[in-house]
Amino acid sequence: MTTPTVPPGTPPPGLSAEAVSKRFGTVTALHDVSVHFPPGQVTALMGENGAGKSTLLRILTGDHQPTVGRVLLNGTPLNLSSPIDARRAGVRIIPQEPEIIPHVSVAENIYLGALPRRAGRRLDRAELRRRVTADLARLGFDTVIDPDLLGSELTAAQRQLVEILRALTGAHAAQVIAFDEPTSSLSEREAEALFSLIAALRDQGVAIIYVSHRMKEIFRLADRIAVLRDGALAGVRPTSATSEGEIVRLMVGRDLSTMFERQQAATGDVVLSVENLTTDDVDDVSLEVRSGEVVALAGLIGAGRSELALALAGDSPVRSGTIRVNGREVRLRSPRDAIRAGVGLAPEERKAQALFLHRTIRDNITLVSLGRLRHGRFVSKAKEKALAQDFADRLRVRAPSIEAQVGTLSGGNQQKTVLARWLARRPELLILDEPTRGVDIGAKVEIYHIIAALARDGVAVLVISSELPEVLGLSDRVIVMQNGRVTGELSRDQASEEAILALAMADDLTDTPHPASDEPTGVAS
């Protein structure tokens, strides 16, 4: 889709930031940014964590005011002193976590703040029903969501839809909608529904701003890509005339053709041996990981990979089977048992499962190493600070100091803090569940290099990832799961996206051949 031609001197339609700069004290978050978001197009806003994306969004939606510069809508300057002003002007943001009232209906959530009322203050339910029915039909969503559902009954995708419907109904319907990492908590099916919705909004003439780290989504959805780097606009490219490589170079200022440090497959001793492991979620799983080897667990959502990781980390009960670490059988009844056995887990949900967001970087790094830092009955603060500083420096955790709260860090630096915790402990086996989810491309590369360094140092690494290029780039072997079972194993030479997907859907493919001796092995019956 192309921007409509306008006569010379006519202000361009859509939303514009014009020479916008933003300073917080002595820190410059944005510097002289001029970027346009035309109607009827999806403009992706990309950049590393800390590049200025969130600051620009907050200025465009009235949460911050620019230090210098201005915001214009259809060529008219906007005075946005609050998000309310932005909504009245027709500029809305759909946050990662929509604000939904759980105990009222979808219809009441949609018209929150503009509910029809009878004389006095009673809700006019008949008028609300008429209004929501008409609006859902007009927007084409009448078969997508039930207006009588309670907020507590909605899926993540439906909660986002309610936010979108708020933006498209009422007296101040949105002309511009910004989506901030909208698929971070969605299933594949819910993400597909969201993509269809965004395409429909674009076709209705809404200007879409789409923020995501996921290249595949960007190149599927966006008409154009605007890239921020270090608070400045690095460039704007039509999606059809650019490539992932060029966008990455704009984001980080360098070529990342060597993202993965591929080493020769390890030949060390077996560190982890799992035989016929069965839990409530996985069935008869057997696998091995050797010292210095990176093994990837691949599969579709619900395959049982994370559930297997939790069992290996002592956080999920084992019903039957055997786990051995360095040849010694271990019974992992708790995470403490796993840590003592030399097993570490960096879980998928780092904020909920791994980090103490209100504690310092120092506290989070040294959490599982305090026993080695004791002097008599007390922890040596000097040793604790030295250990935390050492590993924060090694992993290049970017923060004012190790006394900064982890909750103030970017996603990439939070993930590096989790990795620093386990490097300081030096486990025999480190399990990394989605180690780069929600992390910008520059931090991803640093994490890839950390994983390669762990393997070189002899640590056995088990990586779970839903990104097939990541699986192929990192691993010496790939073990594929479906429905809680292992359906096959691929060497580095055998592994490809097609081979992994065939094994990930083995139970669904009636014509999947049993592999020959020189083909991927171990398709389960």
At 302-349, the pLDDT tens digits run: 889 999 999 999 999 999 999 999 999 999 999 999 999 999 998 888
- Asked if 478 and 298 count as a contact pair (C-beta separation under 8 A), the reply is yes
d(CA 330, CA 325): 7
Nearest to 441 by CA among 300, 244, 262: 244
**Confidence band of 119 (pLDDT split at 50, 70, 90):** confident
Give the per-residue pLDDT at 19. Answer: 95
Is the pLDDT assigned to residue 291 strictly greater than 80?
A: yes
- Asked if 218 and 187 count as a contact pair (C-beta separation under 8 A), the reply is no
d(CA 165, CA 184): 20
Write down the CATH number for the domain with range 270-356+411-508: 3.40.50.300
Interstrand relation of 207-211 and 42-46 (parallel, antiparallel or unpaired): parallel
d(CA 265, CA 245): 27
Q: Which of 50-59, 492-501, 503-512 has the lowest mean pLDDT?
A: 503-512
d(CA 373, CA 376): 10
β-bridge mates for residue 123, sequence order:
117
Give the per-residue pLDDT at 190. Answer: 73
Give the per-residue pLDDT at 274. Answer: 95
Q: Which of 18-27, 80-89, 427-436, 508-517 has the lowest mean pLDDT?
A: 508-517
Give the per-residue pLDDT at 349. Answer: 83
Q: Which of 140-144, 446-450, 469-473 has the lowest mean pLDDT?
A: 140-144
d(CA 16, CA 21): 13
Residue type, 174: A
Mean pLDDT of 118-138: 84
Q: Which of 96-105, 255-264, 363-372 has the lowest mean pLDDT?
A: 255-264
106-110, 477-481, 507-511: range with highest mean pLDDT: 477-481
Q: Which of 249-253, 284-288, 514-518 has the lowest mean pLDDT?
A: 514-518
- Asked if 278 and 255 count as a contact pair (C-beta separation under 8 A), the reply is no
Nearest to 255 by CA among 445, 410, 437, 394: 445
Q: What percent of the chain is modeled with pLDDT above 90?
A: 40
Is the pLDDT assigned to residue 462 strictly greater than 90?
A: yes
Give the per-residue pLDDT at 277. Answer: 95
**Which residue has better confidence, 273 or 249?**
273
**Joined tokens for residue 499:** 């081979």
Give the per-residue pLDDT at 423. Answer: 86
CA trace torsion 24, 30, 34, 36 (10° rounding): -90
d(CA 26, CA 44): 29
Nearest to 3 by CA among 45, 40, 44: 40
- Helices marked H in 379-515: 381-394, 411-425, 441-456, 468-474, 497-504
**Which residue has better confidence, 255 or 342?**
342
**Which residue has better confidence, 5 or 497?**
497
Is the pLDDT assigned to residue 265 strictly greater than 80?
A: no
Is the pLDDT assigned to residue 5 strictly greater than 60?
A: no
Give the per-residue pLDDT at 33. Answer: 95
> Mean pLDDT for the chain?
85
Distances (CA, A) of 20 to 17, 55, 258: 6, 11, 35
Nearest to 299 by CA among 486, 470, 432, 509: 486
CATH 3.40.50.300 residue spans of the chain: 15-100+154-252, 270-356+411-508
Q: Which of 73-87, 218-232, 241-255, 275-289 has the lowest mean pLDDT?
A: 241-255
- Asked if 172 and 164 count as a contact pair (C-beta separation under 8 A), the reply is no
Give the per-residue pLDDT at 172. Answer: 66
N-terminal to C-terminal alpha carbon distance within the chain: 49
Give the per-residue pLDDT at 425. Answer: 87
Is the pLDDT assigned to residue 254 strictly greater than 80?
A: no
Is the pLDDT assigned to residue 170 strictly greater than 70?
A: no
- Asked if 320 and 276 count as a contact pair (C-beta separation under 8 A), the reply is yes
Is the pLDDT assigned to residue 256 strictly greater than 80?
A: no
Mean pLDDT of 113-137: 84
What are 317-321's contacts with CB under 8 Å, separation 24+? 317/279, 317/280, 318/277, 318/278, 318/279, 319/278, 319/279, 319/280, 320/276, 320/277, 320/278, 321/274, 321/275, 321/276, 321/277, 321/278, 321/284, 321/285
The 10s digit of each residue's pLDDT in 421-447 is: 988 888 899 999 988 877 777 778 888
**Confidence band of 36 (pLDDT split at 50, 70, 90):** very high
**Greatest distance between any 2 Cα atoms in the chain:** 80
- Asked if 523 and 503 count as a contact pair (C-beta separation under 8 A), the reply is yes
Give the per-residue pLDDT at 525. Answer: 25
Q: What percent of the chain is modeled with pLDDT above 70?
A: 90
Write the class of the CATH domain 15-100+154-252: alpha beta
- Asked if 307 and 281 count as a contact pair (C-beta separation under 8 A), the reply is yes
The 10s digit of each residue's pLDDT in 378-391 is: 888 888 899 999 98
d(CA 108, CA 93): 19
Is the pLDDT assigned to residue 101 strictly greater than 70?
A: yes
Give the per-residue pLDDT at 255. Answer: 61
Give the per-residue pLDDT at 514. Answer: 40
**Which residue has better confidence, 50 or 115?**
115
Q: Which of 39-43, 63-67, 298-302 has the lowest mean pLDDT?
A: 298-302
Give the per-residue pLDDT at 232. Answer: 93
